[in-house]
């Protein structure tokens, strides 16, 4: 992976510290410094210029101009943002990006996500961009600068909320519910809470059957639309059942009938959570013995990597030594860091599609395999021309094909794709691909040098081999919901936090594998979203953020945070003294500033599409094959000499029929 790469972390942001841990796990040698006094004998220098003193900023600018190192600068906002160099905290970025407005209950205030989501996301994206830049330097001798913004990372996570904003609709906070599925919520049990998530009529019938509550047969609940409309009454009846059981009993019942469910695990209780303890025995023992401190998170790796199969045979290296001066830089810049890499993606919704989107933006050729009727998310609303904005946001720059992997001919076509691919990424249930005939040994025979990345809720070696997992369940079982609370009640991160962070972990692991200086055999990359969520939760629990509160104004809320570390009751008193409740957000921010309290407005997602900074730094436009324009989101990292580009929205998946047609179309793809 990144063995032999020398990295200097020089800055104070959490993203640098988190990134250093990730880069070390990928094999890099990482050192920390408070000043550049050692001559910079490094390949990569990671900085955070917006929270650096002016003297350090001058040195950073000189390093960027010299072009001798890969320099990655992680800042709160971009160079073209009106708030440049304001050094916002993670919570303030959550507020101004719209993230905070998506989290919490409909009748309550916006809630700060209990982990530093923007810093975590920036660390993951920065590491992926660094790995891409290392690959470019090794292949072409080109060093370049990378800029990553917390604001861009936070805004790019809004893929489930931006579609409504594009349609000029306001998406309300939904707490632990799903806006289009029911029952889907956190329910009280005899000894705690359980998350139950249903997404099909079959799952609804099974839940109704095991619950044994006669009122669930009411005609109001006969359709999904009816259940969503009467969700308050429905949830009360479901909770009538769950409160007769322990959380463990309820979870096991749901697992037995194939319904996603799980407990809301306290972060301090992760060491006793069966799957966490199975996968991370040493970390669990450390927590039992010492509790959670600032370094505990480092005991939980967010990806595992091993040989693809026992049948692997050495093959030529995929990443040669630098060839400085032998490449046309304009051609390299246009092609992207991953030019020449072929990726097959088998996934849906968020995780694997997010990985494929970024690999394609970095220049890889990505072929997305969809079921015969296309990915379900294509038909979600809102959208245009029969395709949802959500699907477009997550699947730019891919070639899409439809295969029925239950048919032998379609399996043969997939095998042909994989034979010449560099990467396979999928987020099917563990074992699903193997049942179709594509287990690790088979993949090793098809392509001994394939990087196969599997993303799942609980991992391949799991205490829950039959338990389905949705983002909400993983948030609950990974400690995220315990840390994110509204008035004492646990609440999920509004965006699909576990899915997104899991996808980012996979992206980094894949790009780092592709950057390896002498990759000679296939690799299996395993991502457990619960591992990633627990890593984030343990960092947050061991590195507490400053206190803050959301305060109501006449047109929304503002987020208050004090440089003096004021307790929330003192912040509330100052907000009351400033009469925030009778002011607009802008007026309240100004009034609080005069009182010595830092405050920022809590932006609504629908407002972002009219925000000049969002339009300049985050939003872009792509076209589809018919020439129609689509709103899309740029990647939140900028590589100065081999930029990542987001350009095209795919059309309907191509249906390939017949062996000859398959072969000719594969030749065209290749």
Determine whether 65 is exposed, middle or buried from the number of CB atoms within 10 Å of its CB (0-12, 13-18, 19+).
exposed
Which residues have C-beta within 8 Å of that of residue 321, sequence separation ≥ 6? 138, 517
Dump pLDDT digits (tens) for 418-434. 999 999 999 998 899 99
Q: Helical H runs in 26-174?
A: 54-66, 90-97, 117-140, 150-156, 162-166
- Which structure tokens are listed for 234? 């429905």
Phi, psi of 220 (to 5 degrees): -60, -30
275 and 464 Cβ atoms separated by less than 8 Å: yes
Which residues have C-beta within 8 Å of that of residue 38, sequence separation ≥ 6? none
pLDDT for the residue numbered 118: 98
Please name the helix (run of DSSP H) or strand (run of DSSP E) that holds residue 392, with its range, or none. helix 389-394
CA distance 327 to 316: 21
pLDDT for the residue numbered 659: 40
Same fold, 6-166 and 304-467+497-536+619-669: yes
pLDDT for the residue numbered 83: 81
Architecture of the domain whose range is 6-166: 3-Layer(aba) Sandwich (3.40)
Burial 451-485 (b: 16+ CB within 10 A, else e): bbbbbbbbbbebebeebbbbbbbbbbbbbbbbbbe
CA distance 625 to 447: 32
**For the CA atoms of the chain, what is the radius of gyration?**
24
Q: How many other C-beta atoms lie within 10 A of the C-beta of residue 434? A: 16
Q: Give the chain's end-to-end CA distance (angstroms, integer).
A: 26
CA distance 455 to 347: 9
- Which structure tokens are listed for 288? 């039992």
Every domain of the chain and the residues it spans: 6-166, 184-263, 304-467+497-536+619-669, 548-608
Q: Give SS3 for 466.
A: coil
Q: What is the DSSP letter of 181?
A: B
Q: Candidates 3.40.50.620, 3.40.50.10540, 3.40.50.300, 3.30.70.2390; correct CATH number of 304-467+497-536+619-669? A: 3.40.50.10540
Q: What is the pTM of this model?
A: 0.94
Determine whether 225 is exposed, middle or buried from the number of CB atoms within 10 Å of its CB (0-12, 13-18, 19+).
exposed
Dump pLDDT digits (tens) for 314-361. 443 344 444 444 567 777 778 899 999 999 999 999 999 999 999 999
Contacts 24+ apart (CB under 8 A), 24-29: 25/301, 25/302, 25/303, 26/1, 26/2, 26/127, 26/131, 26/508, 26/509, 26/512, 27/1, 27/2, 27/3, 27/512, 28/2, 28/3, 29/4, 29/5
pLDDT for the residue numbered 327: 63
Indicate if the alpha-carbon torsion angle 393, 395, 399, 401 is positive or negative: negative
pLDDT for the residue numbered 669: 47
pLDDT for the residue numbered 670: 47
> Across the chain, which distance is largest between two alpha carbons, in Å?
76
CA distance 152 to 90: 12
| CATH 3.30.1540.10 correct for 184-263 | yes
Task: List, by residue number, the catalytic residues.
Answer: 499
* pLDDT beneath 70, residues of the chain: 34-40, 311-327, 517-520, 563-565, 657-670
């Amino acid at each position: 992976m990144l063995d032999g790469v020398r990295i200097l972390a020089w800055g104070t942001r959490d993203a640098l510290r988190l990134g250093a841990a990730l880069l070390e796990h990928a094999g890099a040698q990482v050192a920390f410094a408070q000043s550049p006094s050692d001559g910079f004998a490094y390949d990569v220098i990671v900085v955070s210029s917006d929270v650096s003193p002016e003297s350090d900023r001058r040195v950073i600018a000189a390093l960027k101009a010299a072009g001798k190192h890969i320099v990655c600068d992680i800042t709160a906002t971009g160079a073209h943002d009106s708030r440049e160099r304001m050094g916002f905290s993670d919570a303030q970025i959550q507020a101004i990006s719209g993230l905070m407005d998506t989290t919490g209950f409909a009748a309550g205030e916006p809630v700060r996500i209990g982990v530093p989501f923007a810093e975590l996301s920036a660390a993951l994206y920065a590491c992926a961009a660094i790995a891409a830049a290392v690959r470019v330097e090794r292949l072409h001798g080109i060093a370049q600068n990378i800029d990553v913004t917390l604001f861009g990372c936070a805004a790019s996570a809004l893929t489930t909320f931006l579609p409504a904003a594009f349609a000029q609709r306001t998406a309300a906070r939904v707490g632990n519910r799903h806006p289009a599925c029911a029952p889907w919520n956190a329910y009280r049990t005899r000894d705690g809470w359980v998350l139950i998530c249903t997404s099909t009529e079959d799952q609804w019938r099974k839940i109704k059957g095991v619950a044994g509550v006669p009122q669930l047969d009411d005609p109001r609940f006969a359709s999904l639309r009816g259940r969503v409309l009467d969700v308050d009454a429905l949830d009360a009846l479901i909770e009538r059942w769950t409160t007769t059981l322990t959380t463990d009993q309820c979870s096991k019942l749901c697992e037995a009938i194939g319904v996603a469910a799980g407990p809301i695990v306290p972060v301090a209780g992760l060491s006793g959570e069966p799957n966490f303890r199975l996968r991370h025995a040493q970390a669990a023992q450390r927590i039992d013995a010492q509790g959670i401190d600032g370094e505990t998170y480092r005991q939980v790796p967010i990806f595992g990597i091993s040989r693809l199969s026992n049948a692997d045979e050495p093959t030529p290296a995929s990443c040669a030594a630098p060839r400085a001066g032998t490449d046309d830089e304009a051609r390299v810049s246009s092609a992207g860091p991953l030019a020449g890499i072929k990726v097959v993606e088998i996934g849906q919704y968020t995780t694997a599609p997010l990985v494929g989107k970024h690999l394609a933006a970095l220049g890889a050729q990505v072929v997305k395999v969809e079921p015969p009727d296309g990915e379900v998310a294509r038909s979600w609303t809102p959208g245009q021309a029969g395709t949802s904005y959500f699907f477009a946001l997550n699947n730019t720059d891919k070639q899409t094909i439809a295969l029925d992997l239950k048919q032998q001919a379609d399996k043969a076509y997939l095998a042909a794709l994989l034979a010449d691919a560099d990467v396979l990424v999928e987020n099917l249930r563990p074992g699903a691909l193997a049942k179709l005939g594509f287990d690790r040994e088979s993949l090793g025979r098809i392509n001994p040098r394939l990087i196969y990345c599997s993303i799942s809720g609980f991992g391949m070696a799991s205490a829950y081999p039959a338990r389905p997992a949705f983002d909400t369940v993983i948030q609950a079982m990974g400690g995220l919901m315990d840390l994110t609370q509204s008035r004492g009640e646990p609440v999920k991160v509004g965006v699909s936090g576990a899915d997104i962070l899991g996808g980012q972990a996979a992206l980094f692991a894949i790009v780092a594998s592709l950057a390896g200086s002498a990759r000679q055999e296939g690799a299996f990359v395993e991502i457990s979203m619960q591992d990633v969520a627990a890593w984030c939760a343990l960092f947050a629990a061991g590195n507490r953020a400053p206190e803050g509160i959301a305060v109501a104004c006449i047109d929304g809320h503002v987020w208050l945070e004090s440089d003096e570390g004021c307790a929330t009751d003192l912040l509330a008193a100052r907000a009351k003294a400033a009469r925030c409740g009778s002011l607009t957000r802008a007026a309240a921010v100004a009034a609080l500033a005069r009182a010595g309290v830092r405050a920022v407005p809590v932006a609504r997602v629908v407002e972002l599409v009219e925000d000049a900074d969002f339009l300049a730094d985050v939003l872009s436009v792509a076209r589809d094959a018919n020439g129609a324009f689509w709103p899309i989101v740029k990647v939140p990292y900028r590589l100065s000499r081999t930029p990542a580009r987001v350009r095209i929205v795919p059309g309907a998946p191509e249906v390939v029929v017949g062996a000859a047609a398959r072969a000719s179309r594969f030749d065209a793809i290749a």
